[in-house]
Amino acid sequence: MALKSFVFMVVSLVITIKTFHVSTLGACPKCGNMEVPYPFSTDDTCGDSRYKLYCNNNGVLEFQSAEGFSYKVLSIDLAAQKLIIKPPDLVQDDDMCRTTDFSSEGLRLDENLPFNVSTRNTVILLNCSDNLLRSPLNCSSNSLCRVFEGKMLEGRNNACKSRLCCHYLKDSHMTSYMIRVRVGGCTAYTSVVDIQPQDPADKWNYGIELQWMPPN
Ligand SMILES: *[C@@H]1O[C@H](CO)[C@@H](O)[C@H](O)[C@H]1NC(C)=O
Ligand SMILES: *[C@@H]1O[C@H](CO)[C@@H](O)[C@H](O)[C@H]1NC(C)=O
Ligand SMILES: *[C@@H]1O[C@H](CO)[C@@H](O)[C@H](O)[C@H]1NC(C)=O
């Protein structure tokens, strides 16, 4: 009898602990060298599933766009509720000026998720069509895209050079859910967080800063 009730107690204790664990999921384990703080979730045993990140097989933490394109997470600032993802690479092809996310038309965030593009990003657009001249973007000969082109495309990505290019600050007048590239617009881009125009382009902080709304 005593043994029976002891077993029962142990079993119910285990069940209680399990239930408790499921209802208050903790932080996920590290991904490679990166901490994955709460509310981020790399699988359904930890974090909050609306804040999905992916830990790929190489231990690289990634964020996925609405189209499922993956961007490496460079840093997470928990206090500021901001993370920085790596802008897509330029396709290494002398006949093509495209970013690797061109087929998903650049970066688009799922508007139902608690992320948006912060207002500290300066977006540099390459190989733009003349239509862009009628936009409020800065496509002048002293646009920051020319500084980028001069320093960062040196000796490569010839297809992106000497074409119309533009830059803009992703401020509150813009949609905060996408950075778009397409034929008839611009076909490649990069982004710089908190740009310091007086610094040389190889010292800029290349990244796309996203903001998240905390879970309530
Ligand atoms: C540049 O953009 C135009 C139209 O937007 C596109 O047709 C062309 O293929 C692009 N150039 C390169 C080199 O990718
Ligand atoms: C375009 O950007 C450059 C560099 O920031 C700036 O000097 C210039 O005044 C801007 N031009 C326009 C038309 O806004
Ligand atoms: C982006 O998200 C932040 C944090 O939730 C919010 O404060 C801000 O208003 C949002 N910006 C836009 C343009 O929706």
Give the predicted TM-score (pTM) of the model.
0.88
Question: Which protein residue has the closest C-alpha to ligand 2 atom 2?
Answer: 143
What DSSP string runs through 36-80? E-TT-BSSTTSS-TTSB-EE-TTS-EEEE-TT--EEEEEEEETTT
Query: Which residue has better confidence, 13 or 74?
Result: 74
Cβ of 138 below 6 Å from ligand 2: yes
Tell me the C-alpha distance between 75 and 116, whole Å.
16
Q: Which of 100, 130, 187, 189 to mutate to test the pocket of ligand 1 (most atoms within 8 A of CB)?
A: 187
CA of 185 to the centre of ligand 1 (A): 9
Categorize the per-residue pLDDT at 9 as very low, low, confident or very high, splitting at 50, 70 and 90. Answer: low
Lining ligand 3 with CB less than 6 A are: 116, 172, 176, 211, 213
Judged against a pLDDT cut of 90, whether residue 5 lies above it is answered with no
What pLDDT shows up at residue 172?
Answer: 81
Listed residue (67, 73, 66) closest to 42, CA to CA = 73
- Tell me which residue has its CA closest to atom 9 in ligand 1: 96
Asked whether 129 lines ligand 1 (CB < 6 A), one says yes
- Tens of pLDDT, residue by residue over 86-140, are 999 999 888 999 999 999 999 999 999 999 999 999 999 999 999 999 999 999 9
Given a cut of 50, whether residue 22 has pLDDT beyond it is no
Band (75; pLDDT cuts 50, 70, 90) = very high
Asked whether residue 8 carries a pLDDT value surpassing 80, the answer given is: no
Give the closest residue (by CA) to ligand 3 atom 6. 213
pLDDT, tens digit, 9 for 90 and up, residues 132-172 = 999 999 999 999 999 999 999 887 788 999 999 999 999 98
Q: Which of 215, 210, 213, 212 is nearest to 74 (CA)?
A: 210
For residue 193, pLDDT over 90 is answered with yes
Q: How far is the CA of 16 from the centre of ligand 3 (A)?
A: 38
* Ligand whose nearest atom lies closest to the CA of 125: 1
In the prediction, which pLDDT does 158 show?
A: 85
Which is more confidently placed, 146 or 24?
146
Query: Nearest 5°: CA angle at 100, between 99 and 102?
Result: 65
At position 27, the amino acid (one-letter code) is: A
Whole-number average pLDDT of the chain = 90
* Mean pLDDT on 51-75: 97
What is the rounded average pLDDT of the residues 27-55? 96
- Contact 142 CB / ligand 2 (< 6 Å): yes
Mutate to test the pocket of ligand 3, among 77, 119, 176 (most ligand atoms within 8 A of CB): 176
